[in-house]
Amino acid sequence: MSIFLIKVDFITSFSRIKLHNFDLDLTLQNHKQLMKKIILLVLTVFLSACGGGNEKKKGFEYNRTKKTETRKSVSQKETAPVDLSNKGIGPISSMIFDEDIDQQMADKGAAAFKQKCTACHKPKAKLIGPGMNGIYERRSPEWVMNMLLNPTEMLKKDPIAIALLKEYNNIQMLNQNLSEEEARAISEYLRTL
């Protein structure tokens, strides 16, 4: 394997370049001509790259004339139907909350929610999935529990889950394989929002 070695010596009116055992003597005049050619080549490449074409580039443009645009308003409300009688599809057929919130269970639910749900759900705003604030004003406790425990089947068969799936760009809720105890704790936590 050969090693390339470049050595440049400036001696009064000569430049000596040594490149891999080849000697090349350039007079100062030849050196200036070579530099002019290199600069000319670089300028030619630069100017041709800039181009003078008449193609319109997309980007920021400010027009003083008003354009009538109709924009879709972004609302925080979901458009899926509200049906408190829908219990969903899954193992939970009946569930009644106590009047008072079980704070110990809600704390466990908050920890489970933070660990398993916050990648897609925020408590009070839309993210990848709907916000959880006021969920029991829109869904029955059984529906929420069944969605937590059985999201795959719910997204295939339940009309509200299907509507939510469409609303959230067909991004499916992942099955977190929650136990009924974990789902119940998360349900209790959702009451505190």
- CATH code, domain carrying 119: 1.10.760.10
Domain count, the chain: 2
Residues 6+ apart with CB under 8 A from 133: 123, 124, 193
Model confidence at 15: pLDDT above 60: no
Report the distance separating Cα 58 and Cα 60, nearest Å. Answer: 7
Model confidence at 1: pLDDT above 60: no
The residue among 181, 189, 109 whose CA lies nearest residue 149 is 181
The residue among 150, 160, 152, 155 whose CA lies nearest residue 84 is 160
- With respect to residue 85, please indicate whether it lies within any of the assigned structural domains: no
Model confidence at 157: pLDDT above 50: yes
Average pLDDT score over residue span 104-129: 86
Residue bearing the bigger pLDDT, 12 or 162: 162
- With respect to residue 64, please indicate whether it lies within any of the assigned structural domains: no
* pLDDT tens digits for range 65-101: 554 444 433 344 557 778 888 888 889 888 888 889 8
What is the band of 61 on the pLDDT scale with cuts at 50, 70, 90? low
Residues 6+ apart with CB under 8 A from 184: 105, 109, 145
Residue bearing the bigger pLDDT, 9 or 63: 63
- With respect to residue 116, please indicate whether it lies within any of the assigned structural domains: yes
Range of the domain at 118: 103-191
- With respect to residue 61, please indicate whether it lies within any of the assigned structural domains: no
- With respect to residue 98, please indicate whether it lies within any of the assigned structural domains: no
pLDDT of the residue at 12: 44
pTM value is 0.57
- With respect to residue 94, please indicate whether it lies within any of the assigned structural domains: no
Share of the chain above pLDDT 90, in %: 8
pLDDT of the residue at 103: 92
Token digits of residue 34? 């070579």
Same domain, 181 and 107: yes
- CB–CB of 168/129 below 8 Å? yes
- With respect to residue 92, please indicate whether it lies within any of the assigned structural domains: no
Average pLDDT score over residue span 131-154: 88
- With respect to residue 168, please indicate whether it lies within any of the assigned structural domains: yes
pLDDT of the residue at 108: 93
- CB–CB of 123/132 below 8 Å? yes
- CB–CB of 87/146 below 8 Å? yes
Average pLDDT score over residue span 133-157: 89
Token digits of residue 7? 């050595």
pLDDT of the residue at 105: 92
